[in-house]
Every structure is written in structure tokens, then in C-alpha cells.
């Protein structure tokens, strides 16, 4: 079976297509959402999800989150003395999801459709596919998150032609996409976004607001206190939705501090972020040649769209209420599962033709004549422009700029800058030319780009017919099979924690974290329940372990609600 995976900045999900339709596969703790958090202890044990997130308060230097924001970069993270790239950390999350799916389905899972932000460039897509391969998955298809959400919403079952704006604000990335449905064709008209904007930024605003009210500097906090502040800011951010104020509390320097934050204050503090959201919306509408009034429906996906500050902003911006009928956290994973079922050619799935667009312009480096006889190199010549519906094939004719020029080098680039150096380098090729006066020899450069991000570049010498081709696999791996195998061996010493006992570890970590955050009677009462649970664990009686774990969990739930 092919599964669908939403590899998110904050949370990740895995889904399958069953007889009843697409469904989320619960993780080992029985929850749909698996936090995209990884921790490695000094012995090389890997913790993923809730357990890793609980370790963050106790061992902040051994835990990392939001690494999706760094996908496709050279950044490395140091966890307990071991260095990891973002795609390697992502592979641990994918391995955990894969294992959960195999237990749930009772069969091996080897292939997946993974969603990516529509605004992910070539490097980020390559890194995502590499993460899947390191996790033991074949990733032959990627689907953009807005398109997956559109499929999940069942847009292809609608009976009338409709224009949709999909507003996707997750934990760390933001996409806005314009889609149009006509007959059984779902066409992406335009995409725009910001790979460094998401719900976590709105959490930071709440934390800064709290610190301002307490007249404290962020630099004065210890690493543990910063983690604690972020956690409380996240709770306050969620609590203020649907309310006109919230009281935020945080234990700092041994004292429990609290501040009342009004919704209007928080909304004003978020103004800069809201303005950053406005720009991609304008850009996508402009690229699609549409106005706000042309949009029939607005679909919300991504957990951050639950925030009142976001929904209020969107209602003011679009002057209409968005569609909120589907769980925004689950829409992408469910859509990826539908796409997986289409790939398997399942009879239960109504076939829909999905067309996508080229998120970034593809072009090459050229020399331009800016005055008679004066040339400037390093300029960018677009060949397939952004938001061109794919598959697409475009040709540009290039001429020689020097007498007796005997070679032409075609550098394949992706981006929007006028200057080649500012765009993403994808590859290059060189072809021989007959020597001749400048401007008399030319080559036709043809780019052909398909829905799987496969780019074919063909260069043909017009005078001789000599041609040369290269394939750039936009979602493929820059590592060889041997290099992947070697890195998997290097990671093999790490021991991903087994499914069994996960709930016990999670409860203990949560209790330890709350013990550090508590004072007085709360701390003493918590100590009592922890001791009872630890004694049961040592005794090994499964029923007693379950009973004391439930008592401890209920106490923790009641305490956190205070």
C-alpha cells in the first residue's frame, strides 16, 4: 500500500486510503498528530514526537524542532554530540510514522506520497525526498500541500466550475494558492508564499509581549526558561482565540510571573506578521490575473488558521467567511492519501486530472548588450516563468557575443532575480559551436518541465543540428545510492525508541517537566504521584502500572488546567 504523509514543521501525519475513504493512521500513542520534534540522548537513543517534545523542557540542548524550515540548506544540528542535517532529522520522523503505519495496517510500507509546501524550491524538494529515502521509503511522487488539501476537501466532486484560494499557514511555512476547478480538471493557477512564516512566529509575538509587560529581556532567560516561556506562550496564543484577554503565567528565576494580555494588544503586536501574509496573497492573485472578488471559496489549512487573529484578518481582507468544514491539521495528509490511491489506480477514487504550476521561474545565465558594443554578463534570462501551468516546454534562441566563439555554456537556474548569482543553481552543460563572427551562430535552449518536477534541458546548435540533453530531477537525490547506503549505516548505531513503553516514558517526562515548573503543595503532591508510578514500574505488574499511570496523567491534566 502507498501511504500519504504530511511532513510538517510543527506536526506530521500519515494517512491511508481505506474502503471508507482516506483516514489518518494514529501513532503509537493513539494520536493523529506526531510532533515534528527529535531528541537524541547521550547513549544515542532517538526520541520522536511527544516524548521528544517533553524532553525539551528537561534537556533543551538534546532536542530540536522546526527543522523543516532549514530543509535544503547546509545547516547542521548538534544533538548530544552528534551532527545531523535537516533531512536526517526529518527521516527520523518519517521512520516513526512508517513504523506506526506498518503496525496499524499489518503490512510493510515501502512507498509514500509526501506533501511539500507549494513554495518549496528545488533544493528543499530534493532534501524532502532524501529524507524519505533515508527512512526506507520510495518517494516517486510529491504533491503540493494546497493541492493535497483541495483534493481532501473533495473539490473534484463539485458540480460547478469554481475558483478557490487555499490559505495554508502551518507551524513554520506559509503558502497561498489559487486553484480552478472545471469539469474534472483541478488546475493550480498561481502560488506564492513565505518559507519562514508560520504559527511559531505568532507564538514568539505572545512571548515577547509577556516579557515586555514583565520588563525583562529575553537574553536574561536560561535555556530551560526560554523553552518554558515558549510553551506558555503557545498555550496563551491558543487560549486567546475566542476570548478578549488571557492571563499568561511562566516560572522564571524561581518565581511564577503572570501578565494579562488583551486580544487587541496581541492583534496589534501581530500587525507586522499580518502584513507579511498580505503580500503573497496579492502576488498570487496578480499572477493568476484575478481580483479578490473573483474568488468563490477560501479554504483554510494548517493549524495556525485556527487562531482568531488569523481568521479575523482574513474576513477583513476577503470580506467573506472562509470554509472551515474540515480539520485544517489533517486536510493535507488526507489529500496525500487520496493521491496515493490515485497512483495505485484504486477503483474507489474518482480520477481527477491535477495540473500544477512551476513555483519559481526557470531560466539561464546570459550576456546582455546594454549599449552599442557594451556587454554585461551574469544576467538571468527566464525560459519557463513562475506559475506557468505544467507540463510545459519553452524555447529561447541565444546568439554568440564574441568573434570566433567556439562554445556555449548553459547554466540552469531557478529564481526571480534579474541577476544570475542571486538564483538557485541547478546544473549546467557546454556545447561546441563552429567559429564565426559574433551574432552569426546561435543555439536553441529548450526547457521541458513536468508535474513530477522533472526538468529536461536541450541545447541545439542551429547551424549544425548538433544537440545535447540533460535531465535535472528536481525531487531526486544529489547523493548516490552508495552514499545513501553509507549514511544509513552511519545512522544505524542510533536506536529509535521502540513503540512499547512509549506512553510510560512520555508520562514520566511530562511529570518531571511539571515538577520543575511547580512550587509548594503542587510540587509535593506531584512528587507523591511520581513515586507511586515509579514504584509500579519497578514492580512490573502491568495492571498496577496502567492504574498508577492513569492517576498520574489525570493529576497532570488537572494541574495544567489550573
Q: Are residues 372 and 467 in the same domain?
A: yes
Neighbours of 173 (CB within 10 A): 27
Q: Are residues 210 and 119 in the same domain?
A: no
Cα torsion angle, 293, 294, 300, 305, sign: negative
Instruction: State the average pLDDT over residues 180-192.
Output: 80
* Per-residue pLDDT tens over the stretch 14-23: 999 988 889 9
391 cis-preceded (ω within 30 degrees of 0): yes
Q: Are residues 43 and 123 in the same domain?
A: yes
Which of helix, strand or coil describes residue 439? coil
Checking if the pLDDT of 11 tops 80, the result is yes
CA distances, 349 to each of 22, 150, 333 (Å): 10, 15, 16
Q: What pLDDT does 271 receive?
A: 95
* Per-residue pLDDT tens over the stretch 247-304: 999 999 889 999 999 999 999 999 999 999 998 999 899 888 898 888 988 999 998 9
DSSP 420: G
Within 59-85, residue ranges assigned H as helices are none
Checking if the pLDDT of 116 tops 60, the result is yes
What backbone phi and psi angles, to 5 degrees, belong to 318?
Answer: -95, -15
**Listed range (98-112, 164-178, 452-466, 516-530) with the worst mean pLDDT:** 516-530
Question: Directed axis angle between helix 481-491 and helix 122-134, to 10°?
Answer: 60
Name the residue among 11, 76, 17 with its Cα closest to residue 48.
11
In a domain? residue 512: no
Q: Are residues 316 and 331 in the same domain?
A: no
Cell representation of residue 493:
548505531
H-helix or E-strand containing 249? Answer: strand 245-252
Instruction: State the average pLDDT over residues 25-41.
Output: 94
In a domain? residue 510: no
Q: Are residues 233 and 343 in the same domain?
A: no
Q: Are residues 18 and 136 in the same domain?
A: yes
What backbone phi and psi angles, to 5 degrees, belong to 55?
Answer: -65, -20
Instruction: State the average pLDDT over residues 48-61.
Output: 90
Cell representation of residue 40:
537524541
Task: For residue 268, give every residue at least 6 positions away whose Cβ sits within 8 Å of its Cβ, in sequence order, or none.
Answer: none
In a domain? residue 164: yes
Q: How many domains are contained in the chain?
A: 4
Q: What pLDDT does 172 receive?
A: 87
Residues 149/175, Cβ–Cβ less than 8 Å: no
Q: Are residues 94 and 221 in the same domain?
A: no
Q: Are residues 219 and 311 in the same domain?
A: yes
Measured CA to CA, the distance from residue 479 to residue 49 in angstroms comes to 27
* 522 or 100, greater pLDDT: 100
Q: What pLDDT does 385 receive?
A: 86
Checking if the pLDDT of 476 tops 50, the result is no
Q: Are residues 133 and 191 in the same domain?
A: no
Q: Are residues 332 and 316 in the same domain?
A: no
Cell representation of residue 432:
561546441
Cell representation of residue 159:
458540480
Checking if the pLDDT of 477 tops 60, the result is no
* Per-residue pLDDT tens over the stretch 431-466: 999 999 988 999 999 998 876 667 889 999 999 999
Cell representation of residue 430:
557546454
Q: Are residues 275 and 148 in the same domain?
A: no
Checking if the pLDDT of 75 tops 50, the result is yes
Do you know the residue count of the chain? 562
In a domain? residue 511: no
**CATH number of 400's domain:** 2.60.34.10
In a domain? residue 174: yes
Within 106-198, residue ranges assigned H as helices are 122-134, 145-152
In a domain? residue 509: no
Q: Which domain holds residue 287?
A: 158-325
Q: Report percent pLDDT > 70 for the chain.
A: 90
Q: Are residues 368 and 432 in the same domain?
A: yes
Q: In what order do the strands lie in the sheet with 185-194?
A: 297-301, 162-169, 174-182, 185-194, 353-357, 389-390
In a domain? residue 356: no
* Per-residue pLDDT tens over the stretch 512-535: 888 777 777 888 888 888 888 888
**CATH number of 265's domain:** 3.30.420.40
What backbone phi and psi angles, to 5 degrees, belong to 298?
Answer: -115, 125
pTM higher than the cut 0.75: no
In a domain? residue 149: yes
Q: Is 316 exposed, middle or buried (0-12, 13-18, 19+ CB in 10 A)?
A: exposed
What backbone phi and psi angles, to 5 degrees, belong to 324?
Answer: -125, 30
Amino acid at each position: 500500500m502507498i501511504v500519504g504523509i504530511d511532513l510538517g514543521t510543527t506536526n506530521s501525519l500519515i494517512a491511508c486510503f481505506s474502503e471508507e475513504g482516506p483516514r489518518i493512521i494514529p501513532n503509537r500513542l493513539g494520536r493523529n498528530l506526531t510532533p515534528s520534534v527529535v531528541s537524541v540522548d547521550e547513549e544515542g537513543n532517538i526520541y520522536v514526537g511527544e516524548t521528544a517534545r517533553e524532553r525539551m523542557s528537561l534537556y533543551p540542548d538534546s532536542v530540536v524542532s522546526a527543522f523543516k524550515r532549514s530543509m535544503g540548506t547546509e545547516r547542521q544540528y548538534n544533538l548530544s554530540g552528534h551532527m545531523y542535517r535537516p533531512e536526517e532529522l526529518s527521516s527520523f520522523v518519517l521512520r516513526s510514522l512508517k513504523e506506526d503505519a506498518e503496525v496499524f495496517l499489518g503490512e510493510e510500507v515501502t512507498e509514500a506520497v509526501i506533501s511539500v509546501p507549494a513554495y518549496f524550491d528545488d533544493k528543499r524538494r530534493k532534501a524532502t525526498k532524501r529524507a524519505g529515502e533515508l527512512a526506507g521509503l520510495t518517494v516517486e511522487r510529491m504533491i503540493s500541500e494546497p493541492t493535497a488539501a483541495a483534493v481532501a476537501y473533495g473539490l473534484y466532486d463539485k458540480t460547478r466550475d469554481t475558483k478557490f484560494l487555499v490559505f495554508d499557514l502551518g507551524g513554520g511555512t506559509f503558502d497561498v494558492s489559487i486553484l480552478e476547478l472545471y469539469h474534472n480538471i483541478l488546475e493550480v493557477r498561481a502560488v506564492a508564499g513565505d518559507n519562514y512564516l508560520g504559527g511559531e512566529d505568532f507564538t514568539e509575538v505572545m512571548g515577547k509581549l509577556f516579557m515586555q509587560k514583565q520588563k525583562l529581556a529575553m537574553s536574561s532567560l536560561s535555556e530551560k526558561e526560554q523553552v518554558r516561556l515558549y510553551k506558555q506562550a503557545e498555550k496563551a496564543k491558543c487560549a486567546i482565540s475566542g476570548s478578549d484577554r488571557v492571563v499568561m503565567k511562566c516560572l522564571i528565576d524561581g518565581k511564577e510571573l503572570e501578565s494579562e494580555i488583551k486580544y487587541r494588544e496581541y492583534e496589534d503586536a501581530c500587525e507586522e506578521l499580518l502584513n507579511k501574509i498580505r503580500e503573497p496573497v496579492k502576488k498570487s492573485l496578480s499572477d493568476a490575473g484575478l481580483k479578490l472578488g473573483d474568488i468563490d471559496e477560501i479554504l483554510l489549512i494548517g493549524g495556525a488558521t485556527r487562531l482568531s487573529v488569523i481568521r479575523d484578518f482574513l474576513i477583513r481582507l476577503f470580506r467573506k467567511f472562509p470554509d472551515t468544514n474540515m480539520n485544517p491539521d489533517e486536510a493535507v495528509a488526507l489529500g496525500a492519501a487520496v493521491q496515493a490511491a490515485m497512483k495505485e489506480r484504486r477503483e474507489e477514487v474518482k480520477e481527477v486530472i491535477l495540473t500544477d504550476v512551476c513555483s519559481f521561474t526557470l531560466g539561464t545565465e546570459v550576456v546582455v548588450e546594454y549599449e552599442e558594443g557594451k556587454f554585461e554578463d551574469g544576467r538571468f534570462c527566464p525560459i519557463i516563468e513562475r506559475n506557468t501551468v505544467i507540463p510545459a516546454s519553452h524555447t529561447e534562441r541565444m546568439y554568440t557575443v564574441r568573434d570566433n566563439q567556439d562554445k556555449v555554456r548553459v547554466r540552469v537556474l531557478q529564481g526571480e532575480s534579474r541577476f544570475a548569482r542571486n538564483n538557485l543553481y541547478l546544473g549546467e552543460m557546454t556545447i561546441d559551436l563552429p567559429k564565426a563572427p559574433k551574432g552569426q551562430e546561435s543555439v536553441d535552449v529548450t526547457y521541458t518541465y513536468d508535474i513530477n518536477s522533472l526538468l529536461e534541458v536541450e541545447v541545439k546548435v542551429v547551424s549544425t543540428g548538433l544537440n545535447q540533453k540533460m535531465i535535472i530531477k528536481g525531487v531526486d537525490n544529489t547523493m548516490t545510492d552508495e552514499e545513501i547506503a553509507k549514511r544509513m549505516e552511519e545512522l544505524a548505531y542510533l536506536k529509535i525508541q521502540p513503540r512499547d513503553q512509549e506512553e510510560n516514558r512520555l508520562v514520566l517526562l511530562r511529570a518531571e517537566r511539571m515538577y520543575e515548573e511547580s512550587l509548594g503543595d503542587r510540587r509535593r503532591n506531584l512528587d507523591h504521584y511520581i513515586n507511586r508510578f515509579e514504584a509500579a514500574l519497578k514492580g512490573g505488574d502491568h495492571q498496577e502500572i496502567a492504574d498508577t499511570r492513569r492517576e498520574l496523567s489525570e493529576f497532570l491534566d488537572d494541574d495544567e488546567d489550573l
